[in-house]
Chains A and B, each alone.
Chain A
Amino acid sequence: MSENLYIESTKEVYDAIVIGSGISGGWAAKEFCERGLKTLMIERGRVVEHKKDYIGENKAPWQQPYRTKVNNLLVKEQHQIQQQCYAFTDATKHFFGNDKDLPYTTTKETNFTWIRANQLGGKSLLWHRQSYRLGEYDFNANKNDGYGNDWPIRTRDIDKWYSHVEKHAGISGSLDNLENLPDGEFLPPFEMNSPEKALQAKFAKLYPDRPLIIGRTAHLTKPTQLHFSQGRVQCQARNECQAGCSFGGYFSTQSSTLPAAAATNNLHIAPNSVVHSLIYDERTNRLKGVRVIDNDDLSPREYFAKVVFLCASTIGSTQILMNSTSKKFPRGLANSSGVLGHYLMDHNYNAAASGDIEGFEDEVDRGRRPTGLIIPNFYFKPDAKRGFLRGYALAGQAYREGWQSLQHQDGLGVEYKNKLKQAGKWRFGLFAQGEMLPRFENQMRLHPSLTDKWGIPQIEFDCRFSDNETNMMIDAAEQAEKMLKAVGLKNVSSRVMSNPPGLAIHELGTARMGRDPKTSILNAFNQSHDIPNLFVTDGASFCSSAVQNPSLTIMALTARAVNFCIKEMNAKRI
């Protein structure tokens, strides 16, 4: 292939086209390239070069015009939705989409926060990096209570692929030997601070079925030779990850999968290419390629390949399928079942509790740990008496208060300044991350008349949390408050909130896998039931949200799907 990584026009018929460059697209490209297949990665946004384009990185607050805040005018003009994300700051704002160019609607009395990261690397630059395997109970959940369809896979099908991606990405964590949160191939865990260790011991004694463990996170606590070969070094404990990390301390496309893919010389990238639709040949029942609209000048062009991997995010991939129709597929390609766009899920963060920890005044922690702690879902075994289905994890951390908390007290002058100079009391908080049921009525669809600037129909969301999720959050707040009191915290308070779905940025499930082509879009290998050379390997393929953060599973499903695809290509079935 040519010496240039980035291309615009080409007549080449690639072995594989990968649409999207985030966590799933990066993995698909890496796996294809390393297996010797000529691969084109299509990215709708601009190129973000590792290191060079991390323009907000390592800037102290006083070096930023508004000391980490973003000015109103820019927010109003471009980021009314995006600014709701916790990671939206002056150092990261350029990695979030421009809402003005990315309109969407929601049906009456519903709301959905859609966070966008349309550039090379996608949300892999912005993610929170928590990395957990799904357990056997998670894969059985839909089957057990009848919500959603049965996952067509179990842990035995995916475990070796979890190991495969963990070793490359670098996941730090402790071996906890838990029934429904399988251990992985871990780098050493981040340290707990002393109050956390004390709380961990108390939880072990009072709640043996609710262990408090260190978060498992895609950071290099102790890089291996494999990580050095990607150009990455140890995480420097800055916790400014979403600005980009020139150390490659956390996993992103730029730090990890892209260098591996590019090193093979089998990769081309077509940036600024907004995929409009897929090119489908009804006669052969195969995809031939994709139609794109230039991100800047809006001119159309086409790219061709033997297989197409949709890795454009849950909503993005489904939007492309819906916008690709034919005589045979009037409701969207690969949608003979009619479930495309349905069973949209997110996670629910609407409960929290916190309190004060007494003691430990003679110590502080040093550095900024890029993970907290979690109490994994302790409701993984179904129980009809609980009042709701599925469960939640609780995440949190202990920290000493700083001026941000101490400033609220009464006082002025030298005494006040000296108080704010000192470390305050230790605090500990927990927030819930709850599973959302897969429900047919929660959906995304193409708006009948509104289009975006590329002429692509806008998305309309019709999605809300149900009573099951609300009841779960009420329980989470109660349980968290009760446990924090039991382990000795003071001034404990809890709260239940009512934020709409979307803001967990774990949107999942609009082109689900399944055994039955009549009720699902994809088979057990993320391959379309209808069109053999079409795969969807991002969050759209999930049958349930489970409780765990989905990215690690997206990585494993993608690598597994590529492996299967290559086998099928070699067997001439694709």
Chain B
Amino acid sequence: MTNKQKQISAIASESRRNFVRGLSSIVGTTIANTLLSGNSLSVAMTYSLTSPSIESESLSAGKVFSLEQLKLLKNICAIVIPKTNTLGAAEVNTHGFIDNQLFHCYEPFTQEKMKRLLTLIDNVTQEKFSSLFTDIKKNQQFQLLTELDTGKGNFEASQQADFKVLKQLICFGYYTSEVGASKELRYLAVPGVYQGSIPYNDSEPNWGSKGLHY
């Protein structure tokens, strides 16, 4: 075991003890112990230990996108959901997620549509700036994607619609990542009880653990 693994394992067993202690106070020790053999507790205790794949500088070609397309997509991810006081979409490898998700869970029709969209973005950038999208200034990138997002300027409605699909993929990738769901938003694996009403104000994050299941 590396030091890090030991640390993680210590945290896991400590959390597990706390969890079981909490559970025992609700249901009694015997039942709490019989529950230990279940998946719910072991998984409840380990889920937070899995790290997302944090950005690696050495991108390689994906299953759907070429290396150049992935670099462009990563750049778009960073613009749509940037780093704030939490990591953004690019930092949690949403571009890599999208490539994998498109390959495994979408039809070739959608894969091709997304590839065409990336080509479009590059082509329009070439026309306007004689440069690659990834090489123009940040405010120019933002301006260009805003036009695409609103179907204005150089873009028409069908292209806007395709970009909305890409935005959905970015949002899904980001808000189902550990950072998106549990750091940017609040994630409750085991709420324990349903409460119909608790106070809320706009400075608090919404739940990242809702709407993912049924």
Give the bracket for the number of chain B residues in contact with chain A: 35 or more
**Chain A proximity mask over B84-118: 1 for CB below 8 Å, otherwise 0:** 10001000000001001100111100000000000
Evaluate whether A413 and B40 lie within 8 angstroms (CB atoms) in the complex, with A191-B196, A402-B210 already known.
Answer: no
CB atoms of A240 and B104 under 8 A apart: no
Whole-angstrom CA separation of A211 from B177 in the bound complex: 41
Whole-angstrom CA separation of A43 from B150 in the bound complex: 56
- Among A87, A246, A418, A422, find the residue whose CB has the most chain B CB atoms closer than 10 A: A246
Find the B residue at minimum CB distance from A192: B196
Evaluate whether A58 and B40 lie within 8 angstroms (CB atoms) in the complex, with A366-B191, A417-B81 already known.
Answer: yes
CB atoms of B101 and A237 under 8 A apart: no
CB atoms of B171 and A412 under 8 A apart: no
* CB within 8 Å of B: which A229-261 residues: 231, 233-234, 236-242, 244-247
Find the A residue at minimum CB distance from B210: A402
Q: Which of A193, A246, A363 contacts B40 (CB 8 A)?
A: A246
Evaluate whether A51 and B39 lie within 8 angstroms (CB atoms) in the complex, with A86-B214, A237-B192, A362-B200 already known.
Answer: yes
A420 at the interface (CB under 8 A from B): yes
CB atoms of B206 and A58 under 8 A apart: no
* B66 → A minimal CB distance (Å): 21
* B36 → A minimal CB distance (Å): 9
* CB within 8 Å of A: which B50-95 residues: 50, 52, 79-82, 84, 88
CB atoms of B198 and A366 under 8 A apart: yes
Whole-angstrom CA separation of A11 from B175 in the bound complex: 57
* CB within 8 Å of B: which A369-418 residues: 369, 399-400, 402-404, 407-408, 410-414, 416-418
Whole-angstrom CA separation of A534 from B165 in the bound complex: 56
Task: Please name all residues of chain B whose beta carbon is closer than 8 Å to the beta carbon of A516 when the two chains form the complex.
Answer: none
CB atoms of A57 and B34 under 8 A apart: no
* A7 → B minimal CB distance (Å): 24
* CB within 8 Å of B: which A483-530 residues: none
Q: Which of B100, B171, B191, B212 contacts A236 (CB 8 A)?
A: B191
Task: Please name all residues of chain B whose beta carbon is closer than 8 Å to the beta carbon of A424 when the two chains form the complex.
Answer: 206
B3 at the interface (CB under 8 A from A): no
Evaluate whether A366 and B211 lie within 8 angstroms (CB atoms) in the complex, with A58-B47, A245-B40 already known.
Answer: no
CB atoms of A62 and B176 under 8 A apart: yes
Whole-angstrom CA separation of A185 from B172 in the bound complex: 42
Whole-angstrom CA separation of A240 from B40 in the bound complex: 11
CB atoms of B212 and A68 under 8 A apart: yes
Evaluate whether A233 and B176 lie within 8 angstroms (CB atoms) in the complex, with A244-B39, A247-B40 already known.
Answer: no
Evaluate whether A363 and B199 lie within 8 angstroms (CB atoms) in the complex, with A68-B212, A403-B175 already known.
Answer: yes
B154 at the interface (CB under 8 A from A): no
Find the B residue at minimum CB distance from A249: B40
Q: Which of B34, B194, B211 contacts A369 (CB 8 A)?
A: B194
Q: Which of B9-17, B119-127, B128-136, B180-188 contacts A (4 or more CB under 8 A)?
A: B180-188
Evaluate whether A237 and B207 lie within 8 angstroms (CB atoms) in the complex, with A58-B40, A59-B43 already known.
Answer: no
CB atoms of A413 and B82 under 8 A apart: yes
B contacts, CB < 8 Å to A: 23, 26-28, 31, 34-35, 37-41, 43-44, 47-48, 50, 52, 79-82, 84, 88, 97, 100-101, 104-107, 142, 145-146, 149-150, 164, 167-168, 171-173, 175-178, 181-182, 184-185, 187-202, 204-207, 209-214
Known A-B contacts: A54-B38, A407-B168. Give 17 more (CB < 8 A). A51-B35, A52-B39, A57-B40, A62-B50, A67-B101, A73-B104, A86-B214, A191-B195, A228-B27, A233-B26, A236-B190, A245-B40, A247-B40, A364-B206, A403-B185, A412-B79, A422-B202
A contacts, CB < 8 Å to B: 50-52, 54-55, 57-63, 65-73, 86-87, 89, 91, 190-194, 196-197, 223, 228, 231, 233-234, 236-242, 244-247, 361-369, 399-400, 402-404, 407-408, 410-414, 416-418, 420-424
